[in-house]
Amino acid sequence: MERNTLVREALKSYARVQMHHPDNTMSPRQWLSLLNCYIRRRPVEECAEEAEISEVQAAMWYTHLALAVTSYAIRLTRAKYQS
């Protein structure tokens, strides 16, 4: 799977789960801004402003997104080598 496709699929999957989580405090527009910033590798400060969240929240979500992509890639790799 191409790297960009893997990242996008991982982020879409993660965002869907988070958007429907009972503790979600961000609107769909904020999620879209956050994901676009992450994919485009924009600085946290710009992302926070665009998504209308604090810089600390943006940094936290960037970390969560990186972990989600890593976890998704590991699951794909395990599935590939277990078959």
pTM of the prediction? 0.88
Question: b or e along 32-46 (b: 16 or more beta carbons within 10 Å of the residue's beta carbon)?
Answer: ebbbebbeeeeebee
Q: What is the pLDDT along the chain (83 residues), one digit of tens a residue?
A: 687 888 999 999 999 999 999 999 999 999 999 999 999 999 999 999 999 999 999 999 999 999 999 999 999 989 888 86
Give the pLDDT confidence score for residue 25 in this predicted structure.
94
